[in-house]
Amino acid sequence: MLKPIDTIALALGLLALAAPATLRAQTTSPAWNNKQCAVVLTYDDAIDVDLDNVVPALDSAKFRGTFYLIGSSPVVTRRLPEWRQAAKRGHELGNHALFHPCDGSLPGRGFVTPDHDLSKYTVGRAVDEVRANNTLLTAIDGKTARTFAYPCGDRQIGGVMFYEQLKNDFVAARGVTPGLKPAAQVALDNVDAYSINGQNGQYLIDLVKQAQASHTLLVFLFHGVGGGHSLNVSLPAHRQLLRYLKAHEKEIWVAPMVEVAQRIKAEQQATGSKK
């Protein structure tokens, strides 16, 4: 029979053995592939720099990103074989609508053309164009599971959330509101994202460090990388971000939006945190 002092020693020993596992449980998440956080790199609008600058940079670091393609973009038509190759290497081709319609009635929307003014659309037209773009994307990459990104972040037509009719077509939809959330709190119909325009590499890395510390999801929203768009991040800043992610890949899960969203959805269903 163990003496009282032996029983105490045994209990303390068991606690010491359990401490590392407890610490790991507190600092990693199944939703983040058992790492501290998840980082998703997204690139909008299907522009030349995606293929010229971004895909080679991601491939070199062995990272996979999400490219939200506008189906009518001439860069899709002209460089379709390259998009297909990117998809074969694991990059997600996401849906950014067929014509990228934005609400022209909002302030600062002088760039919106009458033909593609979302405020003049019917919900049916918006839904049909998004689904047509899905057909195009499937013809390119052969995949059916993918995510959507709201053009200009616009979600409503006449007060109606048009994505409600598209929820069964996508795993998730990316928005434009900045935020870091744990898996249980991520809204899969409007995933938070940080829009990047001109910030330096240290700013990008600091966001990643915040996600690591809070064990949350961080989504970057890029347009131009090294030029090609009025919204832009420099090549050195983008390169600095990738170097940090590579140096910390044991702690940070970097994956396309569709894969991260599938993990989040599974965890939310398992825990009952979302309907």
In this predicted structure, what is the pLDDT of residue 21?
45
Rounded to an integer, the average pLDDT of 17-42 is 76
Task: Output phi, psi for 43, to 5 deg.
Answer: -135, 125
In this predicted structure, what is the pLDDT of residue 204?
98
Q: Which residues are within 8 A (CB) of 37 and not within 5 positions of it... i.e. 6 or more apart? A: 29, 208, 211, 212, 214, 215, 216, 217, 218, 251, 252, 253
pLDDT of residue 115 exceeding 50: yes
Rounded to an integer, the average pLDDT of 19-41 is 77
pLDDT of residue 110 exceeding 70: yes
Rounded to an integer, the average pLDDT of 54-64 is 98
Going by pLDDT thresholds of 50, 70 and 90, the confidence category of residue 26 is low
Q: Which residues are within 8 A (CB) of 15 and not within 5 positions of it... i.e. 6 or more apart? A: none
- Compute the mean pLDDT over every residue in the chain, rounded to the nearest whole number: 92
pLDDT of residue 263 exceeding 60: yes
pLDDT, tens digit (0-9, with 9 covering 90-100), for 145-188: 999 999 999 999 999 999 999 999 999 999 999 999 999 999 99
Chain-centre distance for alpha carbon 140: 20
